[in-house]
Structure 1
Amino acid sequence: MSTSQFDKMIQDSQDTVKESKAKISSITSQMETAREKIEAGEDQGLDIENATLDDVQAHADLMNANIAELIMGLDDTTAAFSKDFDGMRSKSGWENFVGFFSKGKSESLRQERIRGANIDDKLQDLISKSDIIVSLLKDQLETLQEQQEKVQQNLTSTLDDREATVQELEAARAELLELDPVIVELENKISVEQDATARTQLETELANLNEKYNALVQQEQVKIAKSQTLERYVEKGKTWVDSLQNQAATQMVLINKLQTDTQQRVVLYDALTKSLKTAQQQEVAHRINEIGVETDKEAQTAMAGIGAATNQRMADMMEAHEDSMVFARDIIEKKAKADDRFARRFSAIVEKHDKNLYGG
């Protein structure tokens, strides 16, 4: 993958993340508006359809798939760097051929090739791209967590409201149950009452009870409607919270892999650079060894001092080697775990990458 292609993919991912954040904020805003209407006792219809939630989820999946492709590209580029370093440890076929005629020219060609490789800039560019993608993912994760907190707060309030509404509904129903036998009893009394005055009093009492009964029935209907609205709101909210949680989990997997990969690239760069320096020092030592005897004699005293310093440096390096190896192994173990989580989460993308199944 060329640098321009990779940069274009990063730009596309940035645009996709920006669009995703707008979609996520829009749905949360609709949730908040619905909540405000419920509190104000206004029209409590919810206009958040499943299709809208599905659209946001599909967009998030596409965004994460694009970023996963970027991560696979970073892995490929890192592997290519490792091969480049391996190639620089030894001479190329052409350099070996030239060496049959001129060792100096052969070494000159190799040094020119190493200088032209510009490994430092390439690897630093790779690490920089990793950092850009991590920053992108962290920004998206922060948005997801903010929106999740908002929706969760709304849900908590709505659940409390629904609980209170259901209690009021049950209280109205209980009162209706108590009124039923009283009304029936009054109706029976009226049916057998012969005295006009007493009958009138009973009918007045019945009218008052019927009025109260009808008011309770109306209250029951209102509470049922409100409970159903709150229930729909809760279900929509739960669906959205689940979606945000799933998206956040995916972001964390991607961030973990990228951060671990970046650590490994730093270790790789350090190890391979030291390897090249060591190889170059060995070549310089061979060339010094080829200088005439007279030069050797003149350089003997200086070389003895250099040798002592080299031995001291070698001892320091050997003492530090254990710590370096422990750190490197720790990074390798972390990378293996991060790779495993990434592969499980994005198995389809990994399979396409490994088997070159694009466009199928």
Structure 2
Amino acid sequence: MARLQVFDTKVERVRAAFEDLRQETEHSIDLLGRIASAETAIDEAELDIENSRLAEAIRRQEAILATAADLVLRLDEATGDTAVALDGIKRFTRLEHFVAFFSMRKARRMQHTRTMKHLFSARLEELLSKSGEILHVLEGERALARREQQKAEADLVRLIERRKGTASLLDLAAAQAGDAGLFAEEALLERSTSMFRTLVESLNDRLASLQTLLAKLAVDGRQRLFLCRAVEGWGLAGVGPEVAGDVHAAGGSEQARDIQRRKARADDAVARRFGGVLEKLDTSG
């Protein structure tokens, strides 16, 4: 669980970073709306500033999403470590195998005493709690990003329509010896359209990334609940931990296979979208 020592701090950092990013995004969307409705005039210098601001916001977005992905992946690793440990202690040690040769009951008591030293329930409850924390942050951000994306996309359509209108006027002016003002407006609208297309694309990417992480959290959560039920099964009255584990596995083997299939799909989606984060995680050990 050492990987999760700074988890809570990082979750708060991601939450705060998303809030800051949202303010930048809202600024860009507001400007897009005003330009689309011709409420605001903008010159080349102002457009350069806004373009730089948007580029920085997109860079920050990538960093924030990478941090969120790292948190989700570290939770998954911790869950995997717990599952391996849980599976390992269900087996008799060499000493317990030796004792079982003379007394299976005594061997099972030894195993039970040993397994009780491992606080699996507390560990899994902590994993579920931390999973809920990042889930809450990402779900909230997805809802807000979806609204932002819809507004930005609608305003981009209006901006494109405005540009078409200017282009039509420009064609008419060109036939009548031209109009320098229209040429300048057309150039600015063309740059604005390109810039705000980038904004909409970044929001689309944010939504897709959030959805990928939420899908993984969903299936990983099922795995954690499955492990919780396995640990609870060890506490069946009158049944030793070895037998309880066997009973649970027999009843849940198909569920376990379904979880593994879903995890494989979710992991593949994460690998495609966050390959760099996975590489860093593997390197860090």
Range into which the TM-score falls when normalised by the shorter chain: 0.7 to 0.9
Residue of structure 1 aligned with 2:239, choices 249, 256, 281: 281
Per the alignment, do residues 284 and 82 of structure 1 end up closer, same or farther by CA in structure 2, a change over 3 Å counting?
closer
Asked whether the 8 Å contact 2:112–2:241 carries over to 1, the reply is no
Which structure 2 residues correspond to residues 40-59 of structure 1 after superposition, within 5 A? 40=39, 43-45=41-43, 46-47=46-47, 48-59=49-60
- d(CA) in 2 for partners of 1:332 and 1:105? 35
Which structure 2 residues correspond to residues 202-213 of structure 1 after superposition, within 5 A? none
- d(CA) in 1 for partners of 2:242 and 2:188? 82
CA displacement 1:89-123 (0-9 Å, x = unmatched)? 24556778999999998766654544443322321
Return the offset for 1:337. Answer: 0.6
**What SS is found at the alignment partner of 2:207?**
helix
Structure 2 residue runs of 5 or longer lacking an equivalent are none
Per the alignment, do residues 355 and 111 of structure 1 end up closer, same or farther by CA in structure 2, a change over 3 Å counting?
same
**What SS is found at the alignment partner of 1:62?**
helix
Per the alignment, do residues 162 and 5 of structure 1 end up closer, same or farther by CA in structure 2, a change over 3 Å counting?
closer
What corresponds to 1:162 in structure 2? 163
Larger Rg: 1
Return the offset for 1:59. Answer: 0.9
Query: Which stretch of structure 1 is more off in the superposition, 110-119 or 341-350?
Result: 110-119
Asked whether the 8 Å contact 1:260–1:335 carries over to 2, the reply is yes
Question: Do structure 1's residue 347 and structure 2's residue 275 form an aligned pair?
Answer: yes
Return the offset for 1:230. Answer: 1.8
Percent of pairs identical after alignment?
26
- d(CA) in 2 for partners of 1:328 and 1:97? 32
**TM-score, normalized by length of structure 2?**
0.81
- d(CA) in 1 for partners of 2:240 and 2:99? 20
Per the alignment, do residues 72 and 284 of structure 1 end up closer, same or farther by CA in structure 2, a change over 3 Å counting?
closer
CA displacement 1:293-323 (0-9 Å, x = unmatched)? xxxxxxxxxxxxxxxxxxxxx9xx99x94xx
- d(CA) in 1 for partners of 2:164 and 2:241? 81
What corresponds to 1:203 in structure 2? none
**What SS is found at the alignment partner of 1:339?**
helix
What corresponds to 1:267 in structure 2? 226
Give me the CA root mean square deviation: 3.5
Per the alignment, do residues 149 and 280 of structure 1 end up closer, same or farther by CA in structure 2, a change over 3 Å counting?
same
Per the alignment, do residues 25 and 112 of structure 1 end up closer, same or farther by CA in structure 2, a change over 3 Å counting?
farther
Return the offset for 1:79. Answer: 1.7
Question: Do structure 1's residue 62 and structure 2's residue 56 form an aligned pair?
Answer: no
What corresponds to 1:227 in structure 2? 186
- Name the aligned partner's letter for residue 81 of structure 1: T
Return the offset for 1:161. Answer: 1.6
- d(CA) in 2 for partners of 1:150 and 1:44? 21
Query: Which stretch of structure 1 is more off in the superposition, 86-95 or 125-134?
Result: 86-95
- d(CA) in 2 for partners of 1:76 and 1:345? 18
Which structure 2 residues correspond to residues 1-360 of structure 1 after superposition, within 5 A? 1-2=1-2, 3-35=4-36, 39-40=38-39, 43-45=41-43, 46-47=46-47, 48-90=49-91, 110-174=111-175, 176=176, 217=178, 220-274=179-233, 276-277=234-235, 281-282=239-240, 321=251, 324-356=252-284
- d(CA) in 2 for partners of 1:271 and 1:10? 28
CA displacement 1:107-145 (0-9 Å, x = unmatched)? 666545444433223212212211221221122222222
**TM-score, normalized by length of structure 1?**
0.66
Return the offset for 1:72. Answer: 2.1
- d(CA) in 1 for partners of 2:81 and 2:168? 67
- d(CA) in 2 for partners of 1:134 and 1:281? 36
What corresponds to 1:297 in structure 2? none
Return the offset for 1:159. Answer: 1.5
Asked whether the 8 Å contact 1:89–1:279 carries over to 2, the reply is no
**What SS is found at the alignment partner of 1:117?**
coil
Per the alignment, do residues 89 and 34 of structure 1 end up closer, same or farther by CA in structure 2, a change over 3 Å counting?
same
Return the offset for 1:44. Answer: 2.7
- d(CA) in 2 for partners of 1:44 and 1:355? 47
Asked whether the 8 Å contact 2:36–2:162 carries over to 1, the reply is no
- Matched positions, count: 278
